[in-house]
Amino acid sequence: MKQKHLLSIFLLSIVLLSACKKDKIREESIDYNALTEKRIIEVSEQEVIKAEDIPPLERLLEKVTQKDTKEKLTLLLADVKQVREILPGIVQLRTNPDIDFKGKYEEVQALIQKVSNQLPRKVRLQKDLEDARNSFNTEEVEFENTVSGSESYLDFLTRFLERSYQIKPIAGKPNRFLRADIEKVDSLESRPTTMNNIRKFKGLKYLAATILQGPADLNSLVHLETVDVACEQGLKIDQLHKLKHLVLNHTNEVEWDFGGKNTELETLKIGEALAGKITVLSLSGQKNLKSVVIGNTINLLRKLKRLVIAGNGNTTLTMPILDSDMEELKLSGISGTLSLVSNRADHPPVKIKNFELVNSPNIVSMSIGDLDLPKPIDFAQFKKLKNVFFKPVSINSKETDFNELLNLINLNQLESSLEQFSADFVRVSNGTLNLGKFSKLKTVVISTGAKAPLRKLILNRAISKMVDPGDGTCDDCGGIYLDGNIETIFVD
């Protein structure tokens, strides 16, 4: 029995050795050079190349032994990977009317050029790309005939396109144009219309429009650099990476946080209608930001709760009078003229819970007043400040005496730059204000309240030479304008 068992094991070993030998002979007989190339070509011809199609080709390539052949097939496999990236783009060009055709066409064309001429599929890819372009050139786009005022949108559009771009409707189809023609339009100042009409202008760099009936999603208009828009509902612009100039006239969105978005933005204007409703405005990461304008000087910021602007040192901020308490007001990198005042003469000042004004050495004119701040502003940072205007300022809900305030804000650090000093309804407890060290002052304008009036003003003697004699001989003179009978003393 034992001998029988050993015989079975022996015979099985012979069979296994024989099979292994046959497999080895069979494998050695396979031409992996030809097989690998054949499979690479086959995969490259597929209508869809999946990620899982690549590893089997890489394993076959490992078995190629001839150096020259392996180098050639390595390049072909790289081409297949490139084709895999190209195919979805061609499908988009054929089927997606919402893409930027010109941009996608150029992108796919550049990818095809990288494919080597050794891959037969390259010829077909080039043909597919040209077929997509030919189809695009004959594709039609249809516009809705929205009506605004006395002129229909189609009448406006037809007249505008012919005058500005020599584009005419398709014969016999007054509301249809060639898509290739419409996407040549790079600037549109439109009558009020729908987003469905606006989104057809894929080549736009400039858009001024009122958008009716629904949200305005401009993200598909990827070339936009300037947008001046009003819309009835929400506005989407976060994917406009080339956007430089933005005017928001009207929208139902009242919170605008541009943190990390629209990083090329240079100018932002909040129109009057939105300025009175906006609650949040935050800009950070816009390295080229030049100016921010909120409403106009006669507006009141009635609902603004949070304003954060991270400028670049040369960013100007123009804003109207504050009219509501704020959770946060943080400014940095501001230049030019800055006004932070409220209109609370007969009411408690506007309270700002979290306040910061830093890194702004290029501010040349500053107005501040009727505010309740958590801490004083350090005026020493304003190395170029020439003009300053004060109204009463409270620190942590306590109105500060004017002399105390000037000490807290380090105004004495500006003795060599300040040219104009103005104060309105400030409280001078000891009745004396000493500005004698400010040798560059040309103009002083001061009024004080009845409870703590100014009685004595000390000025540098140099200002007496700056006073306008009133005979028309001085174009750059200043003056001293005081409210009441105030003793003025000049010192060296």
Query: Residue 407: is its pLDDT beyond 60?
Result: yes
* 14 pLDDT higher than 80: no
**DSSP secondary structure of 227-296:** EEEEESS-EE-TT-TT--EEEEEE-S--EEE-TTSSTT--EEEE-HHHHTT--EEEE-S-TT--EEEES-
Domain parsing of the chain, residue ranges: 28-137, 270-401, 419-492
- Quick one: which H or E segment has residue 212? strand 206-212
Residue 291 has pLDDT above 90, yes or no: yes
**Is the model's pLDDT at 383 over the cut of 70?**
yes
Q: Which residues of 22-45 are buried (b: 16+ CB within 10 A; e: fewer)?
A: eeeeeeeeeebbeebbebbeebbe
Give yes or no for a contact between 336 and 360, defined as CB atoms under 8 angstroms apart: no
Average pLDDT over residues 359-365: 96
pLDDT digits (tens, 9 = 90+) for 46-72: 999 999 999 999 999 899 888 898 899
Give 303's Cβ-side CA count (13 Å radius).
11
The pLDDT value recorded for residue 1 is 52
Tell me, what's the pLDDT at 23?
A: 46
Ranges of beta strands (E only) in 112-181 are 140-142, 147-148, 151-152, 176-178
464-487 tens-digit pLDDT: 777 666 666 666 677 888 887 889
Residue 217's pLDDT is 94
Cβ burial, residue 117 (10 Å; 0-12/13-18/19+) = exposed
Residue 149 pLDDT: 60
Nearest by Cα to 136 from 106, 171, 181, 197:
181
What radius of gyration do the chain's Cα atoms show? 37
The chain-wide mean pLDDT, for the chain, equals: 88
Q: Do residues 198 and 211 touch, judged by C-beta distance below 8 A?
A: yes
pLDDT for the residue 463:
86
Reported as a pLDDT band with limits 50, 70 and 90, residue 313 is very high
Beta partners for residue 350, in sequence order: 371
Q: Which of 29-38, 184-193, 462-471, 478-487 has the highest mean pLDDT?
A: 184-193
Examine the pLDDT at 25 and tell me if it is beyond 50: no
What's the burial of 157, exposed, middle or buried (CB within 10 Å: 0-12/13-18/19+)? buried
Q: Predicted confidence band at 266 (pLDDT cuts at 50, 70, 90)?
A: very high
What are 83's two structure tokens?
Answer: 């084709």
Please report how many Cα atoms fall inside a 13 Å half-sphere around the Cα of residue 354, on the Cβ side: 7
The two structure tokens encoding residue 73: 């097939």
Per the DSSP assignment, residues forming a β-bridge with 140 are 178
Q: Which residue has the higher pLDDT, 17 or 459?
A: 459
Tell me the C-alpha to C-alpha distance, in Å, between residue 420 and each of 442, 443, 457, 466: 6, 5, 15, 11
The closest alpha carbon to 453, from 488, 407, 402, belongs to 402
Three-class SS of residue 85? Answer: helix
pLDDT band at 19 (very low <50, low <70, confident <90, very high): very low
Say if CB 327 and CB 305 are below 8 A apart: yes
Q: Do residues 319 and 339 lie in contact, with contact meaning Cβ atoms separated by under 8 Å?
A: yes
Whether the per-residue pLDDT at 184 is higher than 60: the answer is yes
207 and 235 Cβ atoms separated by less than 8 Å = no
Q: Residue 468: phi, psi to the nearest 5?
A: -65, 120
Residues contacting 21, CB < 8 A, separation 6+: none
Higher pLDDT, 55 or 3: 55
DSSP secondary structure code for residue 82 in this structure: H
What would the pLDDT profile of 329-346 be if each residue is shown by its tens digit?
A: 999 999 999 999 987 666
User: Does the pLDDT of residue 12 top 60, yes or no?
Assistant: no
Per this entry, what is the length of the chain?
492
What is the percent of the chain where pLDDT is above 70? Answer: 90
CB 179 within 8 A of CB 140: yes
Give me the residue label for tokens 């060296």. Answer: 492
What number is the average pLDDT over the span 128-153? 84
For the full predicted model, state whether its pTM sits above 0.75. yes
Backbone dihedral angles phi then psi of residue 140, each to the nearest 5 degrees: -105, 145
